[in-house]
Structure 1
C-alpha cells in the first residue's frame, strides 16, 4: 500500500462540532494532512476559526449546524452536496456533557443529551452513508471511555456514549456492503480549554489528572485528530466495527487511584 493510498489528501470529510476542543483538533489534523474539511459547528465563531485556518493554506469550510435539530442536519448535508462532488468521510464528534445529581436530573437535560450525542450520530451517518454508498468511505464516531466505565452524575453522558459504541458495531455490518467502514474512537481526559482552565486554577488538580494515567499525560485534541485521520484512511482498511480506546491507559487500571 503506497503512502498516497494510506493518506487522506484530497478527501472530503465532515466533522461535526468542529469549532472547538477535540473537534477543532480533528479539523486541524485532517486539513494539515490535505483533506478538504467541512467544519459543522453551531457556534457562529466557527466562521472566524475556519477563516483563520484557510489563511494558513488549509481547506476548511464552515457550515453552521445544530446537530440537536434534525432540520439543521438536513441543511448541512444539502450544502455539502451543493459544494462537493462526493463525500469520503464523516466524524461524528459533536457532543454535550451535562453532569449532576442523578436524583435531581431533569427529563429535559436527558433528552437534550440523547438528541445531541446519540440521535445526531444516527441522522448524520445516514445522510453521509447515502452520499458514500457505492463509492465507499469511512465514518468515525467519537465515543468516550465513559462508555465502558463511568462516574456518579454522568448517567446521561455514559448512556449516550455507550449507545454510540454499540450503534457503531451494528452500522459496520449495515454499511459494509456499501463499502463504508464504521469505527468508534473513545478519548479519555483531553486538554480542552475548559480542562486547561481547571488545571491552571488548581495545579494540584493537574497533578492528580496526570497521575491517573499510565503515561502521566492527558490527551491533546490533536492526539485524537491523528487517530481520527488513521481511521479515515486506507491504512485502517481492516478495521470496521471497532472501538479505539485513547485514554493513556486510564481504563486499563484495575483500581481507582483517587487516593493519590
Structure 2
C-alpha cells in the first residue's frame, strides 16, 4: 500500500486510485485517478472540472465532494488529517491533500501542488470552519485569533490563490457561510464575526473577479444535521416549527446547491447568497 508524503511546508499530499510513482522532488506521489460510479449513472454537469473542496472529509464538505465526483469532477479532497483525506480520496478517485488553512505557507503549498498536478483550478468550495461557542465577555484573544485565522484569513488566502489559478479561464468560488453573520445570538461572538467578514469577502471578490470570468457566491447554511448543528438544536425537535419546511437540513441539501453554483447552469450567477435553510431566515416564525 502506498504511503503519503509529509512536506516541511506543512502540506501532506497523496493521489489515490493506483500505484504511486515518486516525483523528482521525492515529496509527492502521483497517479491517474479513477472515478467510482457507486452503481449510479454519472452526470456530466461538472465533467472535466478540477474542484478543490476544503474540509471535505466530513459533514457538508464530504457530501459536496461526493456530489461533485458524481457530477464528473476531479475532486481534490482536503483535510488537516491525512488519513481522513485518504479514505475519501480512495473512494472518490481524486487527490488527497492535508494542510492547515491557518498556516499561510501551507495554503500556498496546497495551491501550488494543485497547479503542478492539474495546471488550473475550476472550482473552489470552502467548507472549513472553526466553531466557537463562547460569549463575548468570555471570548479570549487566543480563541478570537484562532477562529478568524481559519474562518476568515484562511478563506481569504484560499480565495486569492484560487483566483490566480482561474484568471486565465474563469471559474467558480463558493464559500459556505451562516445566518449568524447577520443575526446575533448569544454565545457565538467570534464565529459570527468571522462569518460576517466572510460575507464581505465574498461580495468584494465577486465584484473584483467578475472581469476575470470568476464567479463568487455564498451558500448561507441553516441548521444542518451535523454534530455542531445538532448541538445548536438543543432539545428542540427535528421538526422545528421555526423552520417552514419543518425539518433541519442535511449535508446533501447544501452539497446539491454547491454543485449548481459550481456548474455552467449558474453561469450568470455571481455575488449571490443562496440560503439553504428550509425558509427559516426570512420567515416570521420564532423559535419555540
Quick check: TM above 0.5? Answer: yes
2:64 alignment partner, one of 15, 22, 26: 26
- Give 1:25-64 correspondences, 5 Å limit: 25-53=63-91, 58-64=92-98
Distance 1:37 1:7 in 2: 14
Change (3 A) 1:208 1:227: closer
Secondary structure at the aligned position of 2:108 is classed as helix
Q: Which residue of structure 1 aligns with residue 258 of structure 2?
A: 228
Q: Does 1:251 align with 2:251?
A: no
Q: How big is each residue's C-alpha offset from its partner over 1:86-124, in whole Å with a ceiling of 9 and x where there is no partner?
A: 210101111111101221110110111111000111110
Q: Does 1:114 align with 2:148?
A: yes
Change (3 A) 1:99 1:196: closer
Aligned length: 246
Q: TM-score, normalised by structure 1?
A: 0.88
Q: Which residue of structure 1 aligns with residue 244 of structure 2?
A: 214
2:112 alignment partner, one of 55, 71, 78: 78
Q: How big is each residue's C-alpha offset from its partner over 1:18-57, in whole Å with a ceiling of 9 and x where there is no partner?
A: 111111111111111111011111023323432452xxxx
Contact 1:40–1:64 (Cα < 8 Å) also in 2: yes
Across the aligned residues of Structure 1 and Structure 2, the Cα RMSD in angstroms comes to 2.0
When you count helix as a share of all residues, which structure comes out higher?
1
Q: Which runs of 5+ in 1 are unaligned?
A: none
Contact 1:6–1:234 (Cα < 8 Å) also in 2: no
Q: Does 1:157 align with 2:185?
A: no
Contact 1:8–1:33 (Cα < 8 Å) also in 2: yes
Q: TM-score, normalised by structure 2?
A: 0.80
Change (3 A) 1:225 1:208: closer
The structure, 1 or 2, with the larger RCO (C-alpha pairs under 8 Å, 6+ apart) is: 1
Q: Does 1:241 align with 2:279?
A: no
Distance 1:100 1:175 in 2: 35
Q: Which residue of structure 2 aligns with residue 190 of structure 1?
A: 224
Select the structure of larger CA radius of gyration: 2
Distance 1:174 1:131 in 2: 15
Distance 1:253 1:198 in 2: 19
